[in-house]
A = this chain, B = another copy of it.
Amino acid sequence: MLEENKVNHYLDFFDLAPEELMSLFSLAKERVLKEGDVYVKEGSTTGKLAYIKSGLIRCFLLKENGEETTVLLRWEDQFFTAYDTVLFNQASRFTYQAMEHTVLLEADYQVFMDFLNKNSKFSKAKDYFLISMLAEMMERVESFVLLNPEERYLRLLKDKPNIVQRCPDKYIATLLGITPVSLSRIRKRLANSSVAVPQKMK
Is there a chain B Cβ closer than 8 Å to A97's Cβ?
Answer: no
- Chain A 109-144 residues near chain B, CB threshold 8 A: 117-118, 120, 123, 127, 130-131, 133-135, 137-138, 140-142, 144
Cβ contacts under 8 Å, A176 to chain B: 145
Question: Are the CB atoms of B145 and A175 closer together than 8 Å?
Answer: yes
- B137 x A141 contact (CB < 8 A): yes
Among B141, B174, B175, contact of A71 (Cβ-Cβ < 8 Å)? B141
Bound: A131/B89 CA distance, A: 12
Q: Which residues of B contact A11 (CB under 8 A)?
A: none
Tell me whether A61 is interfacial, beta carbon within 8 Å.
yes
Q: Oligomeric state, in number of copies?
A: 2
Tell me if A69 is interfacial: C-beta within 8 Å of chain B. yes
Give the interface SS of chain A, mostly helix, strand, loop or mixed.
helix
Taking a contact as CB atoms under 8 Å apart, the answer to whether A69 and B145 are in contact is yes
Report the bound CA distance from A87 to B117 in whole Å.
Answer: 20
**A2 beta carbon closer than 8 Å to chain B:** no
A127–B133 CA distance with the chains assembled, in angstroms: 13
Known: A118-B120, A120-B118. A61 touches B146 (CB 8 A): yes
Q: How far is the CA of A94 from the CA of B69 in the complex (A)?
A: 30
What CA separation (Å) do A177 and B144 show in the bound complex?
Answer: 6
The residue on B at minimum CB distance from A88 is B135
A70 at interface by CB-CB < 8 Å: yes
Q: A123 — which chain B residues lie within 8 A by C-beta?
A: 117
Considering the chains assembled together, what is the distance between the CA atoms of A96 and B135 in angstroms?
A: 18
Is the pair B134, A130 in contact by a Cβ cutoff of 8 Å?
Answer: yes
Confirm or deny: A39 has a beta carbon within 8 angstroms of a beta carbon on chain B.
no
Partner of A145, one of B87, B134, B137, B177: B177
